[in-house]
Amino acid sequence: MKTSYPTEPLARWLGNVFAAIGVAPALADRSARAIVRTNARGIETHGVARVLIYVDKLMAGELNAGADVRFEDRNGLLHVHADGALGQGAGLMAVDAAAARARETGAVVAILHDVGHLGALGLYVAEAADQGMLAFMVQSTPPVMALPGSRGAAIGNNPIAFASPVAGGAPLVFDMATSGVARGNVVMAARAGKSIPEGWAIDAEGNPTTDAQAALRGAMLPVAGHKGIGLAMLVECFAGSLSGAKPPPMAATGGSAPSRVGAFLMLVNPALATGPGAYGAHLAEWMETYKTASGDQGRYPGERAHALEMERRRTGIPLPPETVADLVRAGEKAGVPFDVAPVEPAP
């Protein structure tokens, strides 16, 4: 049974945990709020469930608690040297820096070097859309995905996300892994002792499996076969090769997350690209067609997550017992006891 916790106290506690390990207070707070917001938007696999992993990596030096995030404008590109920082805070800093430049220039391409696990990319493009930007972001990951018919992992299930501002509505936000489902779903199933559906993964021998633990020892399967592999290759070119990221030759262990990766972020300022109002008018026209064709329940990507975030900011974030236990352990390791009181059930 899940227990709900209030977003603001949970984010403050988590920021204190990161700061106690040595992360700069501003970066600690930004990272914590991003992680909690991920859960608020309904992405359970890439938010609070990863906290203990991040704490362990910070304490082991795999992530740099004392990171100095630097920005370099070179050859028409914005280079973000993250220095092994927590990915959530560094990623949002990159969005802010790129958006500030795009307000003046119309478009910015940013390459993120040596950045910690970013979690759900939809968070960053949504933030950019909130600042009026059309955004595209990809991130490289260690090999966790098999080629169709192969036995082992050959490439990362490299995620892709984009977002757009929508006049009078929640941003349009689309976020996907290039595997059939994000590997975090398998991690969560393994932790809960549950099986996974057929078609998600293969085991270490290359056989289809519904055993989550066996899947973590094996590999994920791509979305749409060779098309998913092609998209993963696209990401590897833009996020991996451009950033110089050197992922380990093998996948991260089950329940883990890559420590230092590369990412690619592109922002376009619609107001400068098309003139005031033109982009929004065109977007509204085709989105109306889309929603009309979808029927009474039609909605575009990002609407549900936005509505859920507003609701959970009022009612709290539901967490399963195993995640709460991990938060308690994380607090013990950092010397910051987990003292966030759960939300009282409604009468």
Has residue 5 been placed in a domain? no
CA distance 49 to 327: 8
Tally of domains in the chain: 1
Instruction: Give the model confidence (pLDDT) of 138-181 as tens digits.
Output: 999 999 999 877 878 889 999 999 999 999 899 999 999 999 99
- What's the pLDDT at 338? 99
- Mean pLDDT, range 231-246, rounded to an integer: 95
For the chain, the average pLDDT equals 94
The CATH number assigned to the domain holding 197 equals 3.30.60.50
Has residue 322 been placed in a domain? no
pTM of the entire predicted model:
0.94
Strands 77-81 and 107-115: parallel
- What's the pLDDT at 290? 87
Has residue 153 been placed in a domain? no
- What's the pLDDT at 248? 56
**Confidence label for 103 from pLDDT (cuts 50, 70 and 90):** very high
Instruction: Give the model confidence (pLDDT) of 65-96 as tens digits.
Output: 999 999 999 999 999 999 999 999 999 999 99
Has residue 192 been placed in a domain? yes
Lowest mean pLDDT, pick from 9-18, 180-189, 324-333: 180-189
In sequence order, what are the beta bridge partners of 79? Answer: 72, 111
φ, ψ dihedrals at 90, nearest 5°: -65, -40
Has residue 196 been placed in a domain? yes
Has residue 187 been placed in a domain? yes
Nearest one of 272, 271, 307 to 42, comparing CA atoms: 307
Residue 300: what residue type?
Y
- Mean pLDDT, range 28-39, rounded to an integer: 99
CA distance 7 to 17: 15
Has residue 208 been placed in a domain? yes
- What's the pLDDT at 259? 80
Has residue 164 been placed in a domain? no
| Structural domain of 187 | 181-221
337 C-beta neighbours (distance < 10 Å), count: 11
- Mean pLDDT, range 119-139, rounded to an integer: 98
Q: For residue 246, is pLDDT > 80? A: no
